[in-house]
Amino acid sequence: MDPIVRMNDITMAYRGVPAVKNVDFDLREGEIHALLGENGAGKSTLTKVMAGVVEPTGGSMSYRGKVVKFASPHEALQAGIAMVFQETSLVPSMSVAQNLYLGAESFLNRLRGTNIAAQQFLQSLNFPVDPTAMVETLGAAKRQMVEIARAVHHEARVIIFDEPTAALTPEEKRHFFALLRRLKARGVSIVFISHALEEALLLADRITILRDGELVATGPTADFDRDKIIAAMVGRTLSGSLYRKRDTASLRKPGRKVLSVQDISMGKMVRNTSFSIFEGQVTGVFGLIGSGRTETFKIVAGIYKRDFNRGGTITLDDKPVRYYTPAEAVRGGIAYVTEDRKSEGIFETMSIGENMFGGLLAAGGEQGLVIRSRSVRELAEEWTGRLNIKTINADARVVELSGGNQQKVVIGKGLVQKPRIVIFDEPTRGVDVAAIAEIHQIINDLADQGLAVVMISSYLPEISNLSDRILVCRQGRIVEELSPAEATEEKIMYAAVH
């Protein structure tokens, strides 16, 4: 039987950096196909190409035997390919029924008629959702049902789920799996992206594994088991000094304990997590997206506030602290280098020097209210040299720099504050290869200078090669501590997936 979707030699590059390289992918009629891989392996990109969200830079795709090229998600939906997004695309302030028919309303429509039609439709799918309820009042599972109902309503023949179970409780997951089976029975083909390997093994007919944008394994589920999948997900070829293997002797010994976190909680994102950070070493924090790793360390940096009641305790130098603003954390010597430099890291219309100067000012580096403008230029010169920031001229606006150089500016902005604890959150995301090596060097140097360095990353080679100890985060807490000497990438991944 011919596959319903066939992707040939698909390549997708963002600004020259390929996220997916020469991937061939088949989806058969009426199958559940699991797409697995680490964060950044290219799963989302591949499915976005399929659903017309992005146009591939190379390769072709055929749907129902015909070559197609979707210019927009709308076109793909018209043809019968729907994508249910990780972040749901519902309108929170509208009712379930209105959301179901969003974009497909007749010119004149009555609310009552819409509600009745929605009611009947939801019942036919066996979804216990009230069509008149506002979407904002629904839980994650019901929202997802509405999303799915919308896809089915458009008579989608192919439905793509991006991390569908991340927000669901075990009970809701069971309902969701039953639904997938029902959809399958109706002849709908399903692609689902997941970090939960058990789900894939349980549900899927076939499994495809991507790594670093390339397809590494594909086949019937019966050919795979948990260990095989993990090996395929992480088993990259070790190339160059970037991916050297560490032995016990090369690990830095922990210095003084500077930060101790006990049982901190914040809503559902961070649950009762405890750990310590030591001077003079790199503490690697590994976790998949949604594991609460960023939130945990944003609490440490004063950006988020932990729960007021039973929020746990944070001790810095044996003194309990509770920060209400990042300014207090900065004064305490904690610098946080964000994972999202565009929206919360750089001042894009300003020069490198002004960016650095902001960090200095905020840390109280300039005494008194009056500042000297000379120091901006000095700072720019000093830090472009120290961090090897490449720029055409010193007055260039940061927005004009490449991703790697912007990242160095964000790092410099933190370092200029002379912190004792530096938290790097995904320090090499969206950064070119040459800059990755340089940023790794910066991180190593800081630890050698005796600073307490925390590096959050979802990139395994980065974790195992830079860390002197590894914390693994899962479902809002640090679940395991490993030593890089003994931890294989398989072991780390095993602890991080549930």
Partner 1 sequence: MGGNAWTILRSLNQERIVLVVAVLIFGAAVIALPGFFTSANLISIVRSISVLGILALGMSVVIIGRGIDLSMVAVMAMSIAWYLQLLGDGMTEHSALLLVLGGVLAIGLLNGILVAYAEVPAIFVTLASGSFVFGYVRSQLITSDAVPVPTGHWVELLGGLRLAGIPVEVYLFAVLSGAVFLFLRFTKWGRYVYYAGDNPVAARNIGIPVRPMLVLRYVLSALIAFAAGLLTAASLHSINTRIVNSTLLYDIVLVAVIGGIGLAGGKGGVRNVLVGAALIGIMLNAMTIIDISLLYQNLIKSTILLFAIIIDGLLNPRDEQTAQQGDI
In this complex, which beta carbon is closest to partner 1, that of residue 109 or of residue 325? 325
Distance CA 142, CA 162 (A): 16
Q: Which long-range contacts (CB under 8 A, 24 or more apart) does 370-376 make?
A: 376/351
Distance CA 134, CA 130 (A): 9
Contact 497, 311 (CB under 8 A): no
Q: Could you give the strand order of the β-sheet that contains 189-193, starting from the edge strand earlier in sequence? A: 81-84, 158-162, 189-193, 32-36, 206-211, 214-220
Coil, helix or strand at residue 259: strand
* Buried-exposed string 386-398: b where 16+ CB fall within 10 A, e elsewhere: ebebebeeeeebb
Least distance to partner 1 from the beta carbon of 238, Å? 22
In this complex, which beta carbon is closest to partner 1, that of residue 223 or of residue 340? 340
Least distance to partner 1 from the beta carbon of 353, Å? 12
Least distance to partner 1 from the beta carbon of 329, Å? 7
In this complex, which beta carbon is closest to partner 1, that of residue 10 or of residue 179? 10
In this complex, which beta carbon is closest to partner 1, that of residue 264 or of residue 346? 346
Number of neighbours of residue 271 by Cβ within 10 angstroms? 15
User: In DSSP terms, which residues pair with 276 in a beta bridge?
Assistant: 260
Least distance to partner 1 from the beta carbon of 28, Å? 26
Least distance to partner 1 from the beta carbon of 347, Å? 4
Distance CA 43, CA 24 (A): 13
Least distance to partner 1 from the beta carbon of 213, Å? 8
**Quick one: how far is CA 201 from the chain centroid?**
23
Spell out the residues 6+ positions from residue 361 whose beta carbon is closer than 8 angstroms to its own.
371
Least distance to partner 1 from the beta carbon of 409, Å? 11
Least distance to partner 1 from the beta carbon of 176, Å? 24
In this complex, which beta carbon is closest to partner 1, that of residue 146 or of residue 460? 460
Question: What dihedral angle (degrees, nearest 10) is formed by the CA atoms of 302, 307, 310, 316?
Answer: 0
* Backbone torsions φ then ψ of 436, nearest 5 degrees: -60, -50
Q: List the one residue out of 49, 72, 73 whose CA is nearest residue 59.
A: 49
In this complex, which beta carbon is closest to partner 1, that of residue 341 or of residue 469? 341
First to last CA, the chain: 35
In this complex, which beta carbon is closest to partner 1, that of residue 46 or of residue 77? 46
Spell out the residues 6+ positions from residue 80 whose beta carbon is closer than 8 angstroms to its own.
63, 154, 155, 156, 157, 158
Looking at residue 53, what DSSP letter applies?
Answer: S
In this complex, which beta carbon is closest to partner 1, that of residue 213 or of residue 292? 213
Least distance to partner 1 from the beta carbon of 96, Å? 28
In this complex, which beta carbon is closest to partner 1, that of residue 199 or of residue 426? 426
Question: What dihedral angle (degrees, nearest 10) is formed by the CA atoms of 418, 276, 337, 269?
Answer: -150
Contact 412, 358 (CB under 8 A): no
The structure tokens listed for 215 are 């397809």
In this complex, which beta carbon is closest to partner 1, that of residue 29 or of residue 348? 348
Which residues are near partner 1 by CB under 8 A?
14-15, 19, 40, 42, 44-45, 213, 301, 303, 325-327, 329-331, 336, 338-350, 354, 357-359, 361-363, 366, 368-371, 373, 399, 403, 413-414, 417, 426, 429-430
Least distance to partner 1 from the beta carbon of 191, Å? 17
Least distance to partner 1 from the beta carbon of 413, Å? 6
In this complex, which beta carbon is closest to partner 1, that of residue 295 or of residue 426? 426
Number of neighbours of residue 266 by Cβ within 10 angstroms? 20
What is the rounded radius of gyration, in angstroms, for the C-alpha atoms of the chain?
Answer: 25
